[in-house]
């Protein structure tokens, strides 16, 4: 299948394109490189330097490369920043998605896999979280993704658009030649590994009095390669319009991540103690039972140390990230 990957120069997008290539798909990447990296895309891959809001350029790319399906990952995704700058998030994530859909409809491309987020659930009533949980986003970022899901459902009804949405929490880990390089970095695992390597500040423990085994928050981590496989499976989903929640099958406390990182790296991780952050739930763990039943997906790198080891190998190979 000929697939356009929007946001393919980003962390998760660059993983998705590698899995699609390995499975024999023809891949085209479209990215504005605001947060992505050109070096994350193999040189042999067709690359379109454009924004999804540029409908004419997107249409041209769909036409020139005879695209049959789109995997849509292009978005900005920091929850805290979205609270301070909601306009940016609605403009980029919502308007950009609407423009992309306009281009797809105009060029007769009728299949889309949407990279959504488990942030649409807000503070869940129960864990693990599955697709039946109410959606109550607590941030403009979560709002923007939930709105696009609604648009996709309406476009499916009105125009026959086939679509599948994937909701997940924390992507982690790396490929040997592609990993996390956010500037600034906000994700726990790369921050922990940077601290262990002496390339970053101490890790802050935001609260140690949560109702969890060691008092620190529990979060769900899924290897980015496993998330990429889920996107590939969703391209051929038997139930277009489906929404799937992805999880590792369990969660880990922040302290467990720190301890595992020390075992993997053989180095201490410096830590400082801080107060709780407002709005941080004690536990966020997702259930992947439905996608397991319907698409046969299950995480292959379920172990936390496997995830950390791959991220550590990437950091050792590219200590300063991508050279761009």
Whether the Cβ atoms of residue 82 and residue 140 lie closer than 8 Å to each other? yes
Instruction: List the alpha helices (DSSP H) in the chain.
Output: 11-22, 55-64, 79-84, 86-89, 96-107, 140-159, 188-196, 224-234, 254-265, 289-295, 304-317
Percent helix, strand and coil across the chain, each to the nearest 5: 40, 20, 40
* Cross-strand partners of 71: 5, 113
Residues belonging to the active site? 141
Q: Render the burial of 305-317: b for 16+ CB within 10 Å, e for the rest.
A: ebbbbbbbbbbee
- Cα 60 to Cα 297: distance, rounded to the nearest angstrom: 34
DSSP secondary structure letter of residue 284: E
Whether the Cβ atoms of residue 186 and residue 180 lie closer than 8 Å to each other? no
């Amino acid at each position: 299948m000929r697939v356009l990957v929007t946001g393919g120069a980003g962390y998760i997008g660059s993983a998705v394109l590698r899995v699609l290539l390995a499975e024999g798909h023809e891949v085209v990447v479209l990215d504005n490189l605001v947060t992505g990296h050109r070096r994350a895309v193999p040189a042999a891959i067709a690359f379109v330097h454009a924004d999804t809001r540029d409908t004419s350029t997107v249409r041209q790319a769909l036409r020139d490369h005879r695209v049959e399906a789109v995997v849509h990952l292009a978005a900005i995704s920091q929850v805290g920043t979205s609270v301070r700058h909601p306009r940016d998030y609605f403009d980029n994530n919502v308007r950009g998605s609407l423009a992309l859909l306009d281009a797809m409809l105009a060029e007769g491309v009728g299949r889309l896999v949407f990279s959504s987020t488990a942030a649409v659930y807000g503070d869940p009533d129960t864990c693990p979280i599955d697709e039946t949980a109410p959606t109550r986003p607590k941030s403009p970022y979560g709002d923007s993704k939930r709105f696009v899901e609604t648009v996709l459902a309406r476009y499916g009804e009105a125009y026959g658009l086939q679509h599948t949405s994937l909701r997940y929490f924390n992507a982690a880990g790396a490929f040997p030649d592609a990993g996390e390089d956010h500037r600034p970095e906000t994700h726990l695992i790369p921050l922990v590994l940077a601290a262990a390597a002496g390339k970053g500040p101490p890790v802050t423990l935001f609260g140690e009095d949560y109702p969890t085994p060691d008092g620190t928050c529990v979060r769900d981590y899924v290897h980015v390669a496993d998330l990429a496989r889920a996107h590939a499976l969703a391209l051929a989903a038997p139930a277009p319009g489906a929404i799937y929640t992805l999880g590792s099958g369990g969660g880990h406390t922040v302290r467990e991540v720190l301890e595992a990182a020390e075992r993997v790296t053989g180095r201490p991780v410096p830590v400082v103690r801080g107060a709780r952050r407002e709005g941080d739930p004690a536990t966020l763990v997702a259930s992947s039972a439905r996608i397991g039943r319907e698409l046969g997906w299950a995480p292959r790198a379920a172990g936390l140390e496997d995830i950390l080891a791959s991220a550590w190998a990437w950091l050792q190979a590219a200590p300063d990230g991508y050279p761009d």
